[in-house]
Amino acid sequence: MKIIFTILFSIVLGLTNANATDFNEKEFANNYFNAWAATQAPTATKQDIEHYLSLLVDDIGHQHLPYDSDDSRTADGKKSMRKGMNYYLGLHTSYTGTLVDITSGFGVVVIRYDTEATGVHPQTKEEITMKHRTMEVLEIENGKVSVIRKYSK
């Protein structure tokens, strides 16, 4: 019995370690950034949003100060993000996003990128212009983002 338990434990441990080493943080960060940038483009579609959301867990936590101050994970986290992203879909008349760098470790991926965008706010109908650097701290769980903390200048 001890031998069977030891063998099963070794297999499970080996699979866990294999999965951990199979995850490529830099490749994931590039895919994540490209998916995000596609949702911001003037030609963005609901399919672009769904592709981006596919990189997130269902109970995603999201913090973007000063707009979202709570990073708590909730059962409807992805559903809430979908609603917000669809509300702002098509906002930009121009958008450029440039990935600056990627840092990773300890189950976290940090990306920094520059954004330049213009658009018309869907609620106020006012023209907006943005130019800022953003840093996103992405907590990773089973190959998907579980918490996003977004900081912008």
Residue 10 lies in a domain: no
Residue recorded with tokens 């994970």? 73
* Domain residue limits at 78: 24-152
**Residue 1: predicted pLDDT:** 52
> Tokens representing 34?
């490209």
Residue 98 to residues 33, 61, 109, 145, Cα–Cα distance (Å): 9, 24, 17, 20
- pTM for the full model? 0.83
Please report whether residue 124 resides in a domain. yes
pLDDT in tens, 97-125: 999 999 999 999 999 999 999 999 989 99
Tens-place pLDDT, residues 47-58: 999 999 999 999
Q: Is residue 81 part of a domain?
A: yes
Half-sphere exposure of 71 (CA within 13 A, CB side): 15
Q: Is 9 inside a domain boundary?
A: no
Phi, psi dihedrals of residue 75, rounded to the nearest 5°: -55, -30
Domains identified in the chain, total number: 1
Residue 4 lies in a domain: no
104 domain residue, yes or no: yes
Q: Is residue 16 part of a domain?
A: no
Segments of the chain scoring below 70 in pLDDT: 1-21
Please report the pLDDT score of residue 68 as a whole number: 78
Instruction: With respect to residue 129, please indicate whether it lies within any of the assigned structural domains.
Output: yes
- Look up the CATH number of the domain holding residue 83: 3.10.450.50
Quick one: pLDDT at residue 17?
46
